[in-house]
Structure 1
């Protein structure tokens, strides 16, 4: 069956409920494909909207995260000048399935089983309270895992705080800062993992890009948000006018929407002001006063260390959370480019062997990065300190090496950005409570796209002793550059001495040079090397 409309004849195929389980006369509930704006399925009791599916995004309806390829049926959506409809087709005709709207107004799918000789409930369109239409009102969002379920979107506050606090969210939210339109100074904030708002007051275009979509929205003061129409290839444009209604959050298969905001609101998040909307990061911005208070006014007692970027301080927020603050010094060799670089890359990366960035601070001349606090500081504090080195037996060193390798593999192959770190060294490996490693400091990182395997830079930056020859001499960097640095790091972890700090009495070579010399002479596992490592390790 075609569940939808013939746009030329007006024929509308939809579901209606029975009056009761025993009375097949028409009930009050209907489940129809609504063609206004961008089409979506809407469930009504009479004229009152109870539930909607959200728009079709190329793979599924936005509000159906559970609608995925399955062994029972395949499905699809057709939308052309003549027709708009949803359909499904059984993969095995001997295993019937039916879609019904029951007398209580719940859309359900049943599957027949020969074993029980009856129908079993396979799925339901409405699954929880957050599927209730407009439960959280305009510019509100529902998350069934939260308490309370309803929250205002970032940059919005409840219209009636008293009602909101007692669980009546129907009046929704309004902007805490008015838009600057028509001056054109507004920006957009990205919200991810959501069911897109009601599309009955929307406009769409299937052929333009997301960047063009943003420009169209920005020119119209009535435009409140935009999104990709087809998530399979990122094509098409869907624009909303007026209030954004019936948004909910999903743990999986949600979508992204860009909501129009006053520039000052968007600038409360790190990563603002980028040309591509895909670069909006929604990373919290901390006030300078908050960071200063947390670090006891950047006291020397709170100082953890210092590098090329500047000093690093330990801090404690008012909620008790411990943080590490990297403060860009006025004389730093690294500047705004490296600061922005680190925010851009590490904010998008999520891996247990990468340090977590919590936010940043940009205020007047101050630039700071706020990280999770790792009590055991960096790897160099252990492997190059004879007293601390005894805590790292061979098993623990192996775990550290393995963790760094896994993190590096994620950067090079598994992350969607494909990142070359360019400054992998012992000081940039932080250790958590259990001495598990986390790669940090992405100020010099670069991304590779498409089929790129190698790039060149005139600005060679990094740490001598860890740089590959082709990078140090010619500025050529690639995945191999990081692997070279990783190899040096492995030698240092095993031996317990710095590559550049090591000098063998027979040849005055660095650690790397001496190991290579022994390798050429086939002495890598000979007695000389065994003695060298045995005398170095504290076990």
Structure 2
């Protein structure tokens, strides 16, 4: 099955959940492409973002496999071309029936048919916890590398109160011009609300952010193809607050703007004796 996310920069298809477990009328949750980006998939709760998936790998085709047993595998492949962004679901030979659902609570599940019990069984299911959109607040991120995903503050930030949903605040304010630097944060799910700058090299992307006092972070992915895709280099810039960020085992390099730590004044050591004149 092919799910066409966007076509020529427009949202193409939408998956809508049931209203309840036994009510197939239109529910509150749906999945579609992001109307403001060609490479994001959004789970919506009504008109509000509930969860977000962004694809920024430096490859033209990105895939993953779900294995139910030694002979049955489902492949999920994300494909980005010059005009299309789509997700393709395929199965291995001899695989039992498989289906992917979005339920009335906003949870995505992969099911396989169990012939012994003649019933559907869950093979994989999406997490919710702090993966819910912007649940860690501004400049906070959901750490998926820990045993239990939890909210953390980006480097250079501290909690803004005891409630993690309030996010984090800077330990030191930024200054325009000199007096700040960019810290590389590897393995990140990059924030939402970015500005996509096309046809930039990595150095040009870094300079674009560095020269703008309002730019708080940038990331770069080079998806330049063989002529069929055109130049799909992704220079993404952020201004203001960073929201809906995450940390995973394999993610993007996020370059975060921080203030330089002022150096401490140093004085020569005092002698044990003093001369009085």
Q: Which residue of 2 aligns with 1:103?
A: 104
Q: Give the distance between the partners of 1:242 and 1:57, measured in 2 at CA.
A: 25
Q: Cα distance, 1:117 vs. partner?
A: 3.4
User: Which protein is richer in strand relative to its size?
Assistant: 2
Q: Cα distance, 1:140 vs. partner?
A: 0.8
Q: Which residue of 1 aligns with 2:191?
A: 197
8 Å contact from structure 2 (residues 56, 252) kept in 1: no
Q: How does 1:92-171 map to 2 (within 5 A)?
A: 92=93, 94-125=95-126, 127-143=127-143, 145=146, 149-159=150-160, 161=161, 164=162, 168-171=163-166
Where 1:68 maps in the other structure, the secondary structure is strand
Q: Cα distance, 1:189 vs. partner?
A: 0.8
| Structure 1 residue runs without a partner (length 5+) | 268-286, 288-362, 366-539
TM-score normalized by the length of structure 2: 0.77
8 Å contact from structure 2 (residues 216, 256) kept in 1: yes
> 1:214/1:129 Cα in 2 relative to 1: closer, same or farther (>3 Å)?
same
User: Which protein is richer in helix relative to its size?
Assistant: 1
**Structure 1 counterpart of 2:211, from 194, 212, 219:** 219
Q: Give the distance between the partners of 2:11 and 2:191, measured in 1 at CA.
A: 27
Q: Give the distance between the partners of 1:123 and 1:58, measured in 2 at CA.
A: 26
Q: Which residue of 2 aligns with 1:25?
A: 25
Q: Cα distance, 1:95 vs. partner?
A: 3.1
Which deviations, in whole Å up to 9, do the C-alpha atoms of 1:413-433 show, x marking residues without a partner? xxxxxxxxxxxxxxxxxxxxx
Q: Give the distance between the partners of 1:92 and 1:146, measured in 2 at CA.
A: 34
8 Å contact from structure 1 (residues 138, 245) kept in 2: yes
8 Å contact from structure 2 (residues 188, 251) kept in 1: yes
Q: How many residues align?
A: 254
Q: Cα distance, 1:364 vs. partner?
A: 5.8
8 Å contact from structure 2 (residues 130, 149) kept in 1: no
Which deviations, in whole Å up to 9, do the C-alpha atoms of 1:401-450 show, x marking residues without a partner? xxxxxxxxxxxxxxxxxxxxxxxxxxxxxxxxxxxxxxxxxxxxxxxxxx
Q: Which residue of 1 aligns with 2:228?
A: none
Which deviations, in whole Å up to 9, do the C-alpha atoms of 1:202-244 show, x marking residues without a partner? 3143x533232211111122221112325999x6422223211
Higher relative contact order (CA 8 A, sep 6+): 2
Q: Is residue 55 of structure 2 the alignment partner of residue 83 of structure 1?
A: no
Where 1:187 maps in the other structure, the secondary structure is strand
| Structure 2 residue runs without a partner (length 5+) | 68-72, 226-232, 268-277
Where 2:130 maps in the other structure, the secondary structure is helix
8 Å contact from structure 1 (residues 140, 153) kept in 2: yes
Greater Cα shift, 134-143 or 72-81: 72-81
Which deviations, in whole Å up to 9, do the C-alpha atoms of 1:436-481 show, x marking residues without a partner? xxxxxxxxxxxxxxxxxxxxxxxxxxxxxxxxxxxxxxxxxxxxxx
Q: Cα distance, 1:21 vs. partner?
A: 1.6
Where 2:261 maps in the other structure, the secondary structure is helix
